[in-house]
Chain A
Amino acid sequence: SQTIHQWPATLVQPVGSPLSLECTVEGTSNPNLYWYRQAAGRGLQLLFYSVGIGQISSEVPQNLSASRPQDRQFILSSKKLLLSDSGFYLCAWSPSSDPQWAFFGQGTRLTVV
């Protein structure tokens, strides 16, 4: 069966520090991958999605970037965190054959101080 892993579960980082959040999927190949952010009062916002290695679509211009170095690995990064980057980050995957079915990881709670 397919599983999705996200880590770390919680993270506290100072303003100006770099960020790297990792997401991996097991049990499937060539998944579509997504990064969402849930900020207080703003619901779930799609940040990036990828349909293949090296293919990244950005939905919202901001202080973050994403990379997909391997088929089942999706990384969210920042060179210098801002206070406004605080939030709950969720990774998701969906089968490329049925992209409308998305499955979510357990999320990373990021607090920028």
Chain B
Amino acid sequence: GEDVEQSLFLSVREGDSSVINCTYTDSSSTYLYWYKQEPGAGLQLLTYIFSNMDMKQDQRLTVLLNKKDKHLSLRIADTQTGDSAIYFCAEWGNTPLVFGKGTRLSVIA
């Protein structure tokens, strides 16, 4: 079945850039997403990219997609303490949303 992998932890200093990486296996994925989960809360859709795109930029967020390698990344510029959260990579392909295990981003002031 489909699988989404991402590293579990990332720690960065405030003001630096954060890069969260993700790999997926479903070559039929049409949409790829990044969700953000703050402590004790549900998931918030942060951004997404359609499978025929290589890059998408939205303010401080940049999503890069390498469809050949099935690799997705999320770059957060000028990371702030409010960006501390768990970030989930997800894909939509043949089945409803499949998520990775989430990357816990810790921002050090």
Contact = CB atoms under 8 A, between A and B. Distances in A.
Partners in one complex: yes
Interface of A: 6, 32, 34, 36, 41-46, 49, 59, 90, 92, 99-107, 109
B97 A42 contact: no
B43 interface: yes
Nearest to B96: A49
A51 B44 CA distance: 22
Given A43-B99, A49-B96, A99-B96, A104 B43 contact: yes
B97 to A, nearest CB: 6
Given A44-B88, A90-B43, A34 B96 contact: yes
B41 A46 contact: no
B30 interface: yes
A41 B31 CA distance: 25
Interface of B: 30-31, 35, 40-45, 88, 90, 92, 95-102
B87 to A, nearest CB: 12
B14 to A, nearest CB: 27
A49 B96 CA distance: 8
B102 A43 contact: yes
A109 B100 contact: no
A88 to B, nearest CB: 8
A105 B42 contact: yes
Contacts of B98: 46
B101 A104 contact: no
B101 A42 contact: yes
B41 to A, nearest CB: 6
Contacts of A109: 40
17 contacts: A6-B42, A32-B96, A34-B96, A41-B101, A46-B97, A46-B98, A90-B42, A90-B43, A92-B43, A100-B92, A100-B97, A101-B45, A102-B96, A102-B97, A107-B41, A107-B42, A109-B40
Nearest to A42: B101
B42 A44 contact: no
In the A-B complex, the 8 residue pairs with the closest CB atoms = A43-B101, A44-B99, A104-B42, A104-B43, A100-B92, A106-B42, A100-B31, A107-B42
